[in-house]
A and B are shown apart, each in its own frame.
Chain A
Amino acid sequence: MAVEPTDHDRLPCGTDLTTLAGHLAEGALTAHERNCSHCRGAVRRLRALDSARDDLASESVSAPPQLLDEVMRVVRTEGRPGRALPVPPEQHGVTRVREPAAARILRTAAETVGGISVGRCRISEEDEGLSVLLTARVETGAAIPELAEAARRAVRDAARHQLGWTLIRVDVEVVDLS
């Protein structure tokens, strides 16, 4: 029984259940609502529901301990390999760095500046060489031109020293303030 949604929201006395619930929540029951037996019964049930809900909501429910490990095992296995970008020189063999690894190097470099956190780091192969686009969030009140320039310099340096790349361009897109 009671599988169908019950749509009779009006008590036999004519009081609407939603209105009653609102008055109850505000502690502003009308004289009728305080004295009518239908309303009082409904108030009792609403209170019972609220207290059962509070009880259920306060139950501490945590994810099973193995959930994170199981998901991360799949995630690490699949990864997002991205492109394998060549790193010079290529005399006695080829060195390549996968995009996520290169992005990580460049992101970390940009964040050494401080006051900036980097989300996306997209590396593009253009005719003249590699370019980089960073999405960044900067601290409120930061001087964006100086900060972006410092980050740009740090990224270029890291690219040169750690990857052997001379970047033709580093674009910084400030998407939000933190």
Chain B
Amino acid sequence: MEDRPLSPDATLAERAQDGDTGAFDTLLRRHQDTVYRIALRVLGDAADAADTAQEALITAWRKLPELENTAVFSAWLYRIVTNRALNAVRSRIPAAPIDEGLPTAAPGPEHQSMASQLRGALTRALANLPPGQRACWILRELEGMSYEEIAQIVNATPTAVRGRIHRARTHLVEALRLWR
């Protein structure tokens, strides 16, 4: 895929700052899946996630020259997509909260495995979390990031991040009680 030996993100980001579109292409290949996944988990909708990921990546190209410390490129990129996804969520017309007690239709609960029912319940419960909590929980529990990394991404202190994740978990545990 790459015509050079594996270069660190920081080197590629610096080249992309200078206008090397090939370097940016390589960075995209490395990070596009995570960018899309964050958007998808926060937004809960594939089409919205694709739009948000695309806007975030184009924004990254335009804003990249302003990034001084290229060593934090990935955190910077994930921050852009997280913020865009959160903005998109917040600008949605508020819908009635999803009933967490009921599994969604489709194949019918009796044909779904226990695991997929549980996963469905979790997805619905996530959709009802306040967006800030949802983003922190996703970055920690699904993307496996540290509190410090998440703090950089959501622009909060690690302590605040810890608090949000804690509240998110309390809510989710509660929601799964309803599901039972």
List the interface of chain A (C-beta within 8 A of B): 1-3, 5-9, 17-18, 21, 41-42, 44-46, 48-49, 51-53, 55-57, 61-64, 67-68, 70-72, 74-76, 78-82, 98-100, 103-104, 107, 111, 117-122, 135, 137, 175-176, 178
Contacts and interface: CB of A to CB of B under 8 A. Distances in A.
A8 B171 CA distance: 10
A68 B29 contact: yes
B27 to A, nearest CB: 11
B128 to A, nearest CB: 6
Most central of A3, A21, A51 by chain B CB within 10 Å: A3
A56 B172 CA distance: 14
Interface of B: 4-5, 7-8, 10-15, 17-21, 24-25, 28-29, 32-33, 35-37, 40, 46, 50, 53-54, 57-58, 61-62, 65, 70-71, 97, 99-100, 115-116, 118-119, 121-123, 128-130, 133, 141-142, 144, 166-180
Given A72-B25, A75-B21, A176-B71, A2 B171 contact: yes
A158 to B, nearest CB: 16
Given A80-B65, A122-B18, A137 B173 contact: no
Contacts, number: 169
A8 B115 CA distance: 28
B21 A49 contact: no
Nearest to B40: A61
A55 to B, nearest CB: 5
A17 B142 contact: no
A118 B7 CA distance: 9
A120 B36 contact: no
Residue among B11, B62, B177 having the largest count of chain A Cβ atoms under 10 Å: B11
A49 B170 CA distance: 10
A48 B180 contact: yes
A50 to B, nearest CB: 9
Q: Which 5 A-B pairs have the closest CB atoms?
A: A119-B14, A100-B19, A80-B19, A63-B36, A52-B122
A45 B58 contact: no
Contacts of B7: 117
Given A137-B11, A176-B10, A48 B115 contact: no
Contact of B58 (A56, A74, A175, A176): A74
A104 B15 CA distance: 9
B75 to A, nearest CB: 17
B31 to A, nearest CB: 9
Contact of B20 (A21, A78, A100): A100
Contacts of B12: 119
Count chain B CB atoms within 10 A of each CB in A21, A53, A74, A118 and give the residue with the most.
A53
B21 A52 contact: no
Given A68-B32, A119-B11, A49 B19 contact: no
